[in-house]
Structure 1
Amino acid sequence: MIRLVAQIIFLAGVIGWGAIRIPHEIKNKRRNRIDVSAVDLRERVLLLISLCGLGIVPIAYCLFASKGFLRFADYPFSPLQAWLGTLVFVAALALFLATHRQLGRNWSQTLELREDHTLVTHGVYRLVRHPMYSAFFLWGLGQVLLLQNWIAGPAGLIGFGLLYAFRVGREEAMMRAAFGQQYADYMNRTKRVIPFIH
């Protein structure tokens, strides 16, 4: 594998992400009313930071590195690292797909609860409370391994890490308010993003 192929694989993964997310988002917006929303300026800024790290910066790097964009931050390319990144990215997309399917009409991109929202605790949600966050952390790791550049590579983990750090507590407070003891029990038997660890 060469650097250009790794960049193409990353871009293909972004297209795969869109193929999973966009139809789900369109269907959900048409059919499900929002009941509770905590979307504010802070939430919008965090989403923008995450989008920059997981999307804008690495996509711009892949598309414009040949013209010199961020090339100064490249480090020697490792094909083995890129192949490992490919596997991690595929795992991220598989988990991303599973979370969308299992959440169904309960899914929301932001801090919102849908009308007649239900608590999902089956499938991958049996293992962790926030498997979609797990998928994005895997994406960030795949990005680091595929895009062997000191800026474009870690941008995803940094951007999404900030969103996670400043959002997950608020999200869990919303869920506790909505589901009470049922969510407290769920918290007691699961970890947030890494099974049995965190």
Structure 2
Amino acid sequence: MTPTIAKTAFVLLAVGWWVMRIPHVRRSRRTPVARSARGWREITLLTISTTGLGIIPFLYIATGFPKVAAYPFQPVQASIGIAVAIAALVMFRLTHKALGRNWSVSLEVRENHKLVTDGIYRYVRHPMYTAFWLWAVAQALLLPNFVAGFSGIVGFGTLYLFRVAQEERLMIEAFGEPYRTYMARTSRLIPWLI
């Protein structure tokens, strides 16, 4: 395990995520939105998350900036990071497969939106957030830099903290009691824990 392999693994995580997402982005554009929470707040949160999970780590990979925040590379840590990155991609795949046309990058309910409670959603209400948490942890393990490595946890953590409750309110408004029942029997992120 080398720093180059670890950085390559992070790049492959991002590329894999993008490749998985492209068909869903195209498909979702053809499905009209019935209800949306997109506004300045949502755009700000998405920008913060993108900065932490993408811009800062890619700046580090390309330039080494900020060098002052670097710490010694640990091969075992990076190996664990690769395993976590693979878990993130698996979770992304399971989430997109289960959502189908219901997927959206922001808080939106599509026309003819169905409450998805099968597949990975049988166990957790927000597996996409689980996938992004795994991405953020993989980033911290793969990039030996306190700023670039941990910017994903800070960036995505900010989005999660200010968004998940709003998303659940939107789902309650859209689906009512079936969503409340679903909430009562599932965890937000990790089955039977959180």
**TM-score, length basis structure 1:** 0.96
Instruction: Give the CA deviation at 1:74.
Output: 0.9
Q: CA deviation at 1:2?
A: 1.4
Q: CA deviation at 1:70?
A: 1.2
> Which position in structure 2 is the counterpart of 1:9?
9
Q: CA shift at 1:119, angstroms?
A: 0.4
Gaps of 5+ in 1: none
Please list the CA deviations of residues 49-81 of structure 1 after superposition, one character each: whole Å capped at 9, or x if unmatched.
00000010001111112xxx2122111111000
Gap runs ≥5 in structure 2: none
Q: Secondary structure at the match of 1:128?
A: coil
| 1:28-107 map, 5 Å | 28-29=28-29, 31-65=30-64, 69-107=65-103
Matched residue of 1:154: which SS?
A: helix
Deviations 1:114-146 (A, max 9, x none): 000000001110111000000000000000000
> What TM-score does the superposition give when structure 2 sets the normalisation length?
0.98
- Once the two structures are TM-superposed, the CA of residue 9 in structure 1 deviates from its matched residue by 1.1
User: Which stretches of structure 1, 4 residues or more, deviate above 3 A after TM superposition?
Assistant: none
> What is the deviation of 1:23?
2.1
- Paired with 1:52 and 1:124, the residues of 2 have a C-alpha distance of 28
Query: CA offsets, 1:26-58, max 9 Å, x none?
Result: 1221x2001101111111000000000001000
- What is residue 126 of structure 1 aligned with on the other side? 122
Does residue 180 in structure 1 map to residue 176 in structure 2?
yes
Report sequence identity in percent: 50
The code of the aligned residue for 2:153 comes to L
Q: RMSD value over aligned CA atoms? A: 0.7
Separation in 2, partners of 1:153, 1:196: 29
Provide the secondary structure at the position in 2 that maps to 1:21. Answer: helix
